[in-house]
Structure 1
């Protein structure tokens, strides 16, 4: 009999825990003759009663396990902790807000079992969201797929079912700065994607602000592409060429028509332009250096306060 481990990152989700557990248990009850299962709830430093709700489930069900962080380390750290600790032949990752339909699990299992896929992921085809967020999300996938050698499917979710071999491959990637969507694609293997229509949260509110999403997108681009560094180089080259052409223009005009450049505004504009380009390129370089700095510290991705 196969074993399935389900990883569930949680941050201030006290309203969703019980609803999520009941919904997933209905799915597992339908397949319990062929599969054992266990839950790994990862409490990512919640400030509400999320941990207490998880402990209540633990008392009622021996299949429930949890890891509680010493503080909020972020969803990437929570997923990493789950992958490092979950046991089973198959490992699944699912959000606790039920925007990922548990009803897809049997179909995901079937693809891995019968068609020898190593991973089955999910793509959200439609979802009610702010038009600005939708535009930025679409733009992000276009940009990162243009810049990176690794293709990341648009609107792909963290919701996926993986074989033990696939999970072990992901765990072997030890970097501190983690962008799971890119890592899942980078390891390769035979992957199937299922599409489903987006649904609203079962309870509570999203904890991702627009700024956090933009920051997360930038991290993904930096982690999986060196194109921004190359762009900075070419922008620097272009800036030099423009500056040289400008100087030639000034010299030639002085030789042919006499007189120097009239006034300082043009000079100030050129200086500001070149200075802006330099700062822009330094900013790109600084992001990469910052990532190297974090990696060189060899700090753990998370600190566990309690585990059962």
Structure 2
């Protein structure tokens, strides 16, 4: 029986890359041993010609090419989640339209799923050639940090590009949370996963919408979604600070009675310490506020995305 591979492609300002992506995947189609392809392009609120390119491909190949267009930009996580919901294939893959995820890896990934005991074949980059050094440094630090403070392992260099079985995708879709961090979700649901390594690929066209600050925000969301360590750190730091402050107060009282003198001596250091610990308090409140904000988003139960057009 012929099996189907659903290809999910989140798109944000990818007008130039969509036709190139479609052509590249079609070239490897004959190597997929007769597996039928189903494309799901998701337009995440792009204001260029991204949606027009999707319409053109749909008109050219109505049977296999489908698209969804959001009412506004909801983010890549929402686009990815939407694609997973729309996909009907036996196997489902997530790929970027910029061809940084090599389509020629698909035949090997499908072969592994069909012949070995795996539910998912993922990919990870062996290098970060072409990235700014500061971004690469902080990316490595993020993976080291989150794997130390979270029970969910996230593989360093792992891409969203992976081929999954229908069973695994159904498990992912059962997680209906509003605040989504797919790299963590892919790992959290379990299932046997094998990673294939490849060298970093440059974009074929266009420019990335990710910058340092958006990646930093995404990293913070990942830590908050899959670890309570920041809350624990705030609690322990508060307890430690209170303990040493208590010792300091006792020492000041003893010193005053033993040596006498003006109790206001040393006001400069006192003010500096006061400002320092006030900053620590604000930081801890910010950590708590971040978690409360996530809870607030979840309890409102707003949709993860809103569809404006679909074919």
Residue of structure 1 aligned with 2:289, choices 286, 289, 297: 286
What is the CA–CA distance in structure 2 between the aligned matches of 1:90 and 1:70, rounded to whole Å?
28
**Alpha carbon RMSD of aligned pairs, Å?**
1.0
**Contact 1:239-1:277 at 8 Å conserved across structures:** no
Q: Is the 8 A contact 1:69 1:306 kept in 2?
A: yes
CA displacement 1:164-197 (0-9 Å, x = unmatched)? 0000000000100000000000000000000000
Aligned to 1:169, what secondary structure does the other structure show?
helix
1:116 Cα deviation after fit: 2.3
- Report the secondary structure of 1:68's partner residue: strand
The structural deviation recorded for 1:258 is: 1.6
SS in 2 for 1:252: helix
Secondary structure of the 2:180 match is coil
Unaligned runs of 5+ in 2: none
Q: Secondary structure at the match of 2:37?
A: strand
Where does residue 68 of structure 1 map in the other structure?
69
Tell me what 1:216 maps to: 218
TM-superposition CA deviations, 1:68-117 (whole Å, max 9, x none): 00001000000000000111100000000000100000010011000021
Structure 1 runs (4+) deviating above 3 angstroms are: none
Across the two proteins, how many residue pairs are aligned to each other?
A: 307
Q: Secondary structure at the match of 2:291?
A: helix
TM-score by length of 2: 0.97
SS in 2 for 1:88: coil
Does the residue aligned with 1:42 lie in a helix, a strand or coil?
A: strand
Aligned partners of 2:29, 2:295: CA distance in 1, in Å?
43
**Aligned partners of 2:251 and 2:89: how far apart in 1?**
71
Structure 1 Cα separation of the partners of residues 206 and 84 of structure 2 = 25
Distance 1:142 1:48 in 2: 37
Q: TM-score, normalised by structure 1?
A: 0.98
- Any idea what SS the aligned residue of 1:116 has? coil
1:250 touches 1:261 (CA, 8 Å); kept in 2? Answer: no
Query: Does structure 1 residue 125 correspond to structure 2 residue 126?
Result: yes
Tell me the residue number matched to 1:150.
152
Equivalent residue, structure 2, for 1:227? 229
